[in-house]
Structures are given as C-alpha cells and as structure tokens.
Chains A and B, each alone.
Chain A
C-alpha cells in the first residue's frame, strides 16, 4: 500500500504548485515551493521502503544475522535515502535565498503582493 504514500506526495506537490501559481503573497509562494520540496522527501523515502525489510545499517544486524548476510538481504534502499538527504540540504539553502529575496523586495517595494512588484517591466 506504499502507493498511497506516492499519491499523497503527488497531491502535496500539486497543492504546492497551485499555491505558487495562484497566490500573490510572496511568503505564500515560498511556502508553496517548500511544500513541493517536502513532497519530494516523502516520495523519495516512500520509494526507498521495502516490505519486511530493515534499515540499511550493517552495524549490529538484527536476528543474529551477519553483516554480510544483511548486505545480500532485504533492506530499505540507501541510495534513495541519500537523495533525500541531499534534497533536504538543497531545499534549506534555496528557501533561504527565496526568503532573502522576498525580504529585499518588501523593503524596496513596501508590499508582499507579487503583482505590485512590477517596476522591472518595460
């Protein structure tokens, strides 16, 4: 039933996209982007899940198995967990840049409304 997690991630991503497309408040746009990022974390970790498996850690394997036996056995996917780790760090950094730009825009234009930030046009 892990497909429910996939679908939840898809709906979270779409909600984030809807917020980015329709909101005019800059902070809400950043929140929408954050929601899209979070949905990818959920998706990657759900994709890494395997039924009746254990964590991909070879230290102290459970049920008296040896570490090399565990390496051949069924574990959660470590590569996708690595992707998630990467995504989290990049997500934090990118959100920081967005927020810094948003604060500067507010200081410059005195509004959070993205439609009023138009002096660059023309």
Chain B
C-alpha cells in the first residue's frame, strides 16, 4: 500500500517534470552531429597556420599597394573598397536584398486604391460592418468615460509637454526627462563621430563602422524619445529614398572605373596627397556611399521589425485572442477563467 502510494507520487513528479521540460527535438542526434562537426573542424583548425606563420600573399600585396597605388594609410579600407571592391559591391547588394526582404515580410495590409467593384458587391456586408463598428465605438466612449470617472487620467499627448512633478507617472513610450535631455545633447555629437569615421577613412574607420554609429544614434533617439516622435523624422519614404541614392552612388562609383579605366572598380578619380580626406581616390567615395547604404539599410531593417503590426493572422482567431489583451486587467482575468 505504502509503496504504491510512493510510486504514484514519483509518477506525478515525473509527469510534472516532463510537462515543464522545454520542448526539444532529437537531442541525441543533434549532440552526435554537433560533436562530429566539432571533431572534424577541430582537426582542421589544428593544422591551420598559427600566429608565427608569415602573412599571406594577398595580405602582403594589400599592405604594399596601399600607399603607392591608392594613397591610403589604412590597408583594411584599401582591401574593403579597393582590392576586394567587387566583393564589397556584392555584399552591399546582399544587404540591400535583406533589407528589401525584411520590408516585404513586415509590410502590413495595404489599402487598395483602384476600383474593384467590391463596394457594390459587398454593400450589405459593409453596412453590417459599419453598424458593428459604430456600436463598438459607443462602447469605447462609454468605457473611457467610466475610466475618467474612476480617476484614471491620461497624460498630455507628448512627454515634453508634461510638467515636472506631475501627479501622474510619465508615459511609458518615452524615458525620463534626464535621459531625454542627455540624448538630445549626445546624439548630434555621436552623429558627428559617425561622419568623422567616414571622412577620415584613411585612418581606421570607413563606411561600415560609421553607418553602424548612425544606426546607434537612431536607436538611442528611439529608446529615449519613443517610437511616435522618432517615426516622424525617420519616415520610410525618406529613408528608402536615401538608401536607393546610396546604392546608386555605389553603382556609379564602381562602374566609373569600367567606363574610364576599362576595369570594374578601378580608380578613376585623382589621388590627392597622403593623409587628407580625399586621399584614397574612389575608396573614399565608395566608403561614403557605403556609409549611407549601411546607415539607412540597418535603420529600415530595425524599424521594420519594431513596427511590425499585428497582421495577417486568421481574422476570427485574431479577434478571439486579442480580446484579453485589449480589455482591462480585471476583464482579462475573467476571460482566462472562461
């Protein structure tokens, strides 16, 4: 009797453990495959050249041609935009393809602007929908009036219009006035740093890190000031246009070599004195265009992800599962009980 009781308790414990365990998929097979790959790669890297090996021919070439051929003091930039310029060209358009892919995936349902005859065909359903929406509207008005009676005031439309020491907490879409003030002060400085990295690209810097800095500035503004006020400046129409201009500039710079020098991505601009801003010929032009491309591309990708609307799901299912989220906390509890 006692043993049976103990067993059943253990069974229950096992059952709970199984239920709480994170769902996984063929862990044994995965472990064997991962370990096998680790073994193969481990043997491979063991025989790779180590820190005492001499530089590869390509690297030596990049180091020696940087000054005489390109008038640039930064071999990494010389490799990125000069020697392996074609590869960077391809990479740029891979980035562009990824950004367009994200834009396609995150886009919301678009309103159709041409006549499709739907209005005539679905007039009856439309009427029912309008009536339903109107009813829902009155319900919403009633609910907000009820909330106002209970003293749940809403703050002013933007957090900046809110007086210090206001009785209600600051709106959660922006951070406190200290953070906002600091970001207002720092964001221009950081943006200048990003541009400096690109313009003085003959020393470590260049388009990719500069663009990443600009994306950081945009994200700082987003986090501190809130989505609503940043999207007013970072409009998709404007940023997409800038990105296309960057891509076009890159094509022009790379094709210029083909037109004027007979080879793709060859230098066709005059090389000015060492250690000056225009010293790298097309390198600096390419780097600047890449700066625009990376900054706008990553901004578009991030804002596309952040602004992903609740969309595309099955209509009835959306309404069903949206109900508990939209209603007040007490109602949510009731909905879960049902």
- Among listed B45-53, B118-126, B163-171, interface-contacting one: B45-53
The proximity string for A residues 1-41 relative to B, scoring 1 for CB distances below 8 Å and 0 otherwise, is 01100110111011101100111110000000000000000
**By DSSP majority rule, is chain B's interface helix, strand, loop, or mixed?**
helix
B45 touches A6 (CB 8 A): yes
* Interface majority SS (helix, strand, loop, mixed), chain A: helix
Contact residues in B for A2 (Cβ distance below 8 Å): 50-51
Interface size on B, residues (CB 8 A): 72
Taking residues whose C-beta sits less than 8 angstroms from the other chain, chain A's interface range is: 35 or more
**Knowing A21-B33, A90-B95 touch, does A14 contact B208 (C-beta < 8 A)?**
no
Contacting residues, chain A, for B29 (C-beta < 8 A): 21
Task: Choose among A3, A25, A71 the residue that contacts B67 (Cβ–Cβ < 8 A).
Answer: A71
B48 touches A110 (CB 8 A): no
Q: How far is the CA of A58 from the CA of B279 in the complex (A)?
A: 14
Contact between B105 and A89 (Cβ–Cβ < 8 Å)?
A: no
- Contact A17 B33, beta carbon cutoff 8 Å: yes
Name which residue of chain B comes closest to A28, CB basis.
B22
Closest B residue by C-beta to A14: B38
* B301, A93: Cβ atoms closer than 8 Å: yes
In the complex, the chain A residue whose C-beta lies closest to that of B308 is: A103
Rounded to whole angstroms, the CA-CA distance of A97 and B97 in the bound complex is 10
Contact A59 B48 (CB under 8 A): no
Partner of A82, one of B48, B80, B301: B80
Total A-B contacts with CB atoms under 8 angstroms apart: 193
For B294, what are the chain A residues with a Cβ–Cβ distance below 8 Å?
89
A103–B105 Cα gap in the complex (Å)? Answer: 10
Inter-chain contacts of A49 with B (CB < 8 A): 51
The reply on A117 being an interface residue by CB < 8 A is no
Q: Is B98 an interface residue (CB 8 A)?
A: yes
Q: Which residues of B contact A110 (CB under 8 A)?
A: 313, 317, 321
Contact with A along B300-329 (1 / 0, CB 8 A): 011011001011111001000100000000
Known: A71-B67, A100-B101, A103-B305. 16 other contacts (CB 8 A): A14-B35, A14-B38, A18-B30, A21-B29, A22-B25, A23-B25, A24-B25, A58-B63, A59-B275, A67-B73, A74-B55, A86-B80, A93-B94, A93-B298, A107-B311, A110-B317
Q: Would you list the 10 A-B pairs with minimal beta carbon distance, nearest first?
A: A93-B98, A21-B30, A14-B38, A22-B30, A6-B45, A18-B34, A78-B75, A59-B73, A51-B51, A58-B73
